[in-house]
Amino acid sequence: MKRFVVIGLGGFGAWVARTLHQEGFDVIAIDRNEVLVDRHAADVTRCVAGDATDENLLREVGVEGADAAVVSTGEDLASAILSILALRETGVQNIYAKVPSLRAAEALERFDLVDMVFPEREAAERLVRRLTSSTVLDYIPIGADFAIEEIAIPDAWIGKSLLQLELPRNHGIQIVAIYDVLQGTWKVVPDPDEVLKDSDVALVAGRKKALSAILKRTRRRAR
């Protein structure tokens, strides 16, 4: 069974810990706040009140050999950094961190984390995309430069095959899956000869700038 460590039981950390445990994984959660520890004790395998910057404490609670750790200490950047260093000392290499600001993200870049999660920014980006385009159904940022968008098929694509559209060559984007709303079926990695219909929804991956350019052209045609 995979074992995960979650440091910080604020809203984000608690959701991560609970969801991992519900998926059947071994979860060790650590927070300095005893009230939060008591509140979430039943949601994880082991919930500990203590200082996660203390390497000895981490070893005592069984962090060594964990598959990954999530650091979610809110605005306390110093605690996040010290917790990351302590986790590394115990042999945990796959570390993710929730960052509260761009400043925090810049400070943590040097620690070679697997990923930094910026929930507020990502939620804002998703909402803006949905508010500003009738085409975008959902939006998932991937790192700083890439994203996946779930979009209704633009009028100019209907009746054409993926081979005809040559989206990677012409626009720098790629359709990775197609959902037929009428049939209720997914086609993942669709055939190049797949002809797009107005009843389709597409998952499109690419650079954010390329995706934005496509949506701008779509909006202009709609006007």
Q: For the domain that residue 51 is a member of, what is the CATH number?
A: 3.40.50.720
Quick one: 93 and 137 in the same domain? no
Q: Please determine, for residue 168, whether its predicted confidence score (pLDDT) is greater than 80.
A: yes
Quick one: 45 and 71 in the same domain? yes
Considering 81, 99, 117, which residue would you say is the last residue of a domain? 117
pLDDT of amino acid 223: 35
Quick one: 130 and 89 in the same domain? no
pTM: 0.62
Quick one: 31 and 68 in the same domain? yes
Residue range 89-94: mean pLDDT, rounded: 91
Residue range 184-207: mean pLDDT, rounded: 90
- Distance CA(178)–CA(190), nearest Å, equals 7
Say which range, 23-27, 55-59, 75-79, 91-95, has the weakest mean pLDDT.
75-79
Quick one: 177 and 194 in the same domain? yes
Mean residue pLDDT of the chain comes to 84
Quick one: 125 and 218 in the same domain? yes
Residue range 148-169: mean pLDDT, rounded: 90
- Name which of 31, 57, 27, 58 is nearest 44 in CA terms: 27
Quick one: 11 and 110 in the same domain? yes
Considering 89, 117, 145, which residue would you say is the last residue of a domain? 117
Quick one: 108 and 23 in the same domain? yes
Kindly state the helix (H) or strand (E) to which residue 86 belongs, with its residue range.
helix 77-89
Kindly state the helix (H) or strand (E) to which residue 49 belongs, with its residue range.
strand 46-49
pLDDT band at 66 (very low <50, low <70, confident <90, very high): very high
State the total domains in the chain: 2
Quick one: 20 and 96 in the same domain? yes
DSSP state of 154: P
Q: For the domain that residue 161 is a member of, what is the CATH number?
A: 3.30.70.1450
Domain of residue 25, residue span:
3-117
Quick one: 128 and 98 in the same domain? no
Quick one: 84 and 26 in the same domain? yes
- Distance CA(175)–CA(140), nearest Å, equals 14
Quick one: 126 and 163 in the same domain? yes
Instruction: Quote the percentage of the chain above a pLDDT of 90.
Output: 48
